[in-house]
């Protein structure tokens, strides 16, 4: 078992096994700075919606030490910054952003740079229900990591903002387990009974892979609920069958399948965000 078993940490939660950290994380990323024909020079920002919870209780009672995956958050943000954008960061409760630090690429100077730039916002983010509308924003970005499943899919405040973005055709960017937040668009209190992304094509970390990973110790036990199954039940069309770093877009929705999609997602999304902002005089 050893190297292929999730490991209890000092806090009593479980980190991924040494084996899965060896093959599934890296000290650097695939980020390469892009050259853009047009960049954004306005004052409106990208709203980055993160998790402020990091403990996921699995069906066997063990607790996974999770949060937002740092590569999924910070690599797309590097591309958005390169395209001229700045950020606001928000969480459900206004608590500090929780990262999966066991996945942090600690030899990547570019990631360290953007992290330092937004660190103060991550430590004292806005509270979602204190953001009344999207008038100050050009796009919404919701990074993945299992932690985004904890309190964002049931957030009425997030659901209302995503519905506003949908109505405005405002770019909405997410990856991996981030599509779990699609469920928020039709929770009680949003005024909507149908998911905003019904009929949309999307990438998503697959339930099949989530079911496999406890056997190699990435997760300490079976998932408490299934993202892919849940969003498909709401009418979302998940087009990937495995994780390859793939990305796609459908109307305003821009998605990636896994942490490995972080760079590809930024490359795809950044010029689309610039185009939307310029065409709408933002």
Compute how many other C-beta atoms are within 10 angstroms of the C-beta atom of residue 234.
15
H-type helices in the chain, by residue range? 18-24, 70-82, 109-123, 148-151, 156-168, 207-212, 227-233, 262-279
Q: Which residues are within 8 A (CB) of 254 and not within 5 positions of it... i.e. 6 or more apart?
A: 171, 172, 173, 174, 247, 248, 265, 268, 269, 272
List for the chain the helix, strand, coil content (%; round to 5): 40, 15, 45
Q: Which of 176, 186, 195, 204 is catalytic?
A: 176
Token duo for residue 146:
């299992």
Q: Please give the backbone phi and psi of residue 161, each rounded to the nearest 5 degrees, phi first.
A: -70, -40
Q: Answer yes or no: 148 catalytic.
A: no
The Cα 246–Cα 204 span in angstroms is 10
Structure tokens that stand for 259 in this block = 């942490």
Please identify every residue annotated as catalytic.
Answer: 176
């Amino acid at each position: 078992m050893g190297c292929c078993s999730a490991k209890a940490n000092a806090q009593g939660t479980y980190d991924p096994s040494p084996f899965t950290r060896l093959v599934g994380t890296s000290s650097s990323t695939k980020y390469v700075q892009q050259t853009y024909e047009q960049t954004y020079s306005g004052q409106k920002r990208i709203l980055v919606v993160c998790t402020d919870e990091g403990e996921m209780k699995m069906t066997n009672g063990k607790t996974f030490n999770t949060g937002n995956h740092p590569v999924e958050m910070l690599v797309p943000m590097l591309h958005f910054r390169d395209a001229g954008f700045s950020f606001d960061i928000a969480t459900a409760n206004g608590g500090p952003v929780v990262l999966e630090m066991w996945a942090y690429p600690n030899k990547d100077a570019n990631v360290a740079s953007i992290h330092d730039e937004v660190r103060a916002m991550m430590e004292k983010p806005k509270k979602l229900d204190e953001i009344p509308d999207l008038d100050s924003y050009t796009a919404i970005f919701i990074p993945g990591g299992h932690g985004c499943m904890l309190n964002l899919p049931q957030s009425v405040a997030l659901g209302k903002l995503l519905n506003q973005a949908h109505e405005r055709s405002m770019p909405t960017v997410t990856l991996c387990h981030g599509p779990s937040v699609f469920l928020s668009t039709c929770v009680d209190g949003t005024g909507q009974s149908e998911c905003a992304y019904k009929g949309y094509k999307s990438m998503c970390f697959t339930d099949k892979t989530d079911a496999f990973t406890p056997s190699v110790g990435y997760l300490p036990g079976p998932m408490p609920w299934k993202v892919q199954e849940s969003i498909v039940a709401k009418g979302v069309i998940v087009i990937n069958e495995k994780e390859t770093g793939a990305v796609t877009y459908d109307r305003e929705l821009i998605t990636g399948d896994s942490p490995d999609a972080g760079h590809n997602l930024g490359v795809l999304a950044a010029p689309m965000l610039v185009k939307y902002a310029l065409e709408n005089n933002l």
